[in-house]
Amino acid sequence: MSNCIFCQILSKEIPSYTVYENEHVYAFLDITQVSKGHTLIIPKPHVKDVFEWTPDIASSMGEAIEKVSKALKKAFPNMQGLNIINNNGERAYQSVFHSHIHLIPRFPEQDGLSITFEPHSPMYTQEEMHAIAQTITQAF
């Protein structure tokens, strides 16, 4: 898509810092660098979000996540952890609508990422949990 910033990066209209590339995916440094080495992995076909992924895209993205994660760990021996984040839809904080995975290395020092998990309140009952799982199971 010509007005997509990530497609423009793929076509080299916009420069980027390449981390990894194969025929299916491209990985490059996020310009914001929430932490050192903050990398984005994108599928080469323009797909908006995970709901537009094909099994082939899922497979190549999964493979790239594994490769880039291990490269980050090797590149930065003081890395203490790695957040792998994917946002789908505005409600989920997606801001560029070409599907992408953030790999955010975590170091001892403070960085720009904060994540909180607040339990649903009130807690779901066992019956409700069963019904939720069943609803999802029946959607396959």
What does the block give as tokens for 100? 């992408």
Round to whole Å and give the CA distance between 24 and 130. 38
46 binds Zn ion (CB under 5 A): yes
- Catalytic, 100? Answer yes
As measured in angstroms, the least distance from the Cβ of 140 to Zn ion is: 28
CA 57 from chain center: how many Å? 13
44 binds Zn ion (CB under 5 A): no
Buried b or exposed e, range 78-106, using 16+ CB within 10 angstroms: ebeebeeeebbeeeeebeebbbbbbbbbe
As measured in angstroms, the least distance from the Cβ of 4 to Zn ion is: 3
Site for Zn ion in 93-112 (CB under 5 A): 98
Of all residues in this chain, which one has the CB nearest to Zn ion in the complex?
A: 4
As measured in angstroms, the least distance from the Cβ of 86 to Zn ion is: 15
26 binds Zn ion (CB under 5 A): no
Q: Count the residues of the shown chain that bind Zn ion, applying the rule CB under 5 A.
A: 6
Beta bridge partners of 106: 81
Catalytic residue among 38, 46, 98, 100: 100
Residues identified as active-site? 100
Site residues, Zn ion (CB under 5 A): 1, 4, 6-7, 46, 98
